[in-house]
Structure formats: structure tokens, C-alpha cells
Amino acid sequence: MRALITQQQYLNDHNEPCDLLESSYIRFLQDLELKLSIQSNFLPLELESERPDLIIFPGGGNIDSRYMESCHDYCIQDLRDNIEKQLLCFATENEVPVLAICRGMQHVNGLLGGRVSVLHGLRAPRINGIDHNVRHLNGIEITVNHFHNCGIYQRNLAKSLKVIGLDVENDLVEAYYTHRILGLQWHPERKFEDAKSQEMSTALVRDFVRNKGVLDESRYSGCRGWTSAQ
């Protein structure tokens, strides 16, 4: 299976525009037996000649303020944003699965009509680098890593997306799903403090990939407002 992954767009110490992709993504995706192609922000898409079986939007930086509930300082990644928008359109039209991680998850939510918020004044503060609980998989709690300053409150989730993982204390969406799109706010490619939780996270991604973007929804708590039913 061929997977196409986008990259972070940034300026280096010489003020030169560059691509950036952490090696942890490459290791994680290779372990899933994916043949990886890496899309530069500075080259055009070539989807007709090399059609991917899976598209991945990774983390790295904040999204454009047009998708934010409130203004904030953000890293401009205009070329990346344009490529990911084109790729999401292509994926939707051709039923190609999309795996969206952290910033990628937020961008997809924005492109589908949702909003993203700066995480100020949380009821249960989250600290970067410190894992926290998420209710997931039919009410089971797992502990996931945390490396973000923005997030999606349940009220701001795009209407086409379903919650399958929630930070219950803060009403923040940690994972969503719709047909052929899986979004994770945590980083499945990075280490977890709890090995069992990491195993469950990897299993979720593996199921999504192997089933070509289709999840057995009976195994997940994926419906709007499921918190009130728990």
C-alpha cells in the first residue's frame, strides 16, 4: 500500500523556506508496512501518475487563523495548507483514506467547516509532554501523549465528523472518524507513558489502514454527544 504524507513548512536559521518531517513518522508508517512517498511543499502534486492508497496529514505548527475560534499567533504554512486542501478534495472524490494527526486533524476539521480553539483556561490543564486520559473504544479509557496548544471542543467539530475519543474533563475531541477519514489529536508515532494505551492506539490506526479507511463503528463510541450517554 502506497501512502503519501505531507510535511511541515518552515523557515530555517538562514530564513530559507524548508520542508520538515520527523523521522518518527517514517518509522511508525514503515512498521505498518506502508510504502511511503513524501510530498514537498515546493513541488506540485502528481496524483494522476502516482495515485496514493492512503494520505497522511501530520502534525507540526498551528493552523491558519481563518479556522480559529479566536485569533492567535500562528506559523504561516500557506503552501502546505494549499496542498492539503487539494489532497482532501482528491481523497473525498476518489475515496482515498485520510489519516490526520494533531495539526493535520485540526486542519481537516477546519476544511470541513469546523473550528479550532486556543486551549486557555481548561478545567483540567494539559501540559505538553505529559500524558492524559481519553475516553475511547466503547467507554474504555486510554492514556495518550499531549503535544499541542490548540484543540477542538466538541461544539466546534465539523458536522460530518463523529467523536470516537474525548478528553471528558475538558470536552475536547481527541479522535474523530467519518467514512475514510480518521483524525487523532495525539501522536501515534511518538512514545506513550502507558504501553497498553500505545498498543491500542496503534491497533486503531492499523485497522483503519488495513480496512482501507473503514472502521467497524460498533467497536467505537463514535456518535455526536456520546459523552452524555456514558
What was the pLDDT predicted at 137?
61
In the predicted structure, residue 223 carries a pLDDT above the cut 50: no
Which amino acid is it at 28? F
User: For 12-26, 123-137, 213-227, which range has the lowest pLDDT when averaged over its residues?
Assistant: 213-227
What CATH number should be reported for the domain holding residue 111? 3.40.50.880
Give CA–CA dist 27/21, Å, rounded: 11
At 92-146, the pLDDT tens digits run 999 999 999 999 999 999 999 999 998 888 888 898 899 999 997 667 899 999 9
At 156-197, the pLDDT tens digits run 999 999 999 999 999 999 999 999 999 999 999 999 999 999
What was the pLDDT predicted at 71?
60
Please state, in angstroms and as integers, the Cα–Cα distance from residue 133 to each residue in 5, 74, 112, 141, following that order.
28, 27, 27, 6
Taking CA 99 as the corner, what is the angle to CA 98 and CA 102, rounded to the nearest 5 degrees? Answer: 135
What was the pLDDT predicted at 22?
96
Give CA–CA dist 6/65, Å, rounded: 20
- The residue segments making up the domain with residue 168 are 2-229
Please tell me the pTM assigned to this model: 0.92
Q: Where are the alpha helices (DSSP H) in the chain?
A: 23-31, 78-94, 103-111, 195-210
What was the pLDDT predicted at 70?
67
Give CA–CA dist 111/54, Å, rounded: 18
What was the pLDDT predicted at 207?
95
Report the percentage of the chain scoring pLDDT > 90: 76
At 48-104, the pLDDT tens digits run 778 999 999 999 988 887 777 766 666 689 999 999 999 999 999 999 999 999 999
Q: What is the DSSP string of 100-144?
A: EETHHHHHHHHHTT--BEE--S-SS---TT--EEEEETTTEEEEE
| Count of domains for the chain | 1
- pLDDT interval class at 229 (50, 70, 90): very low
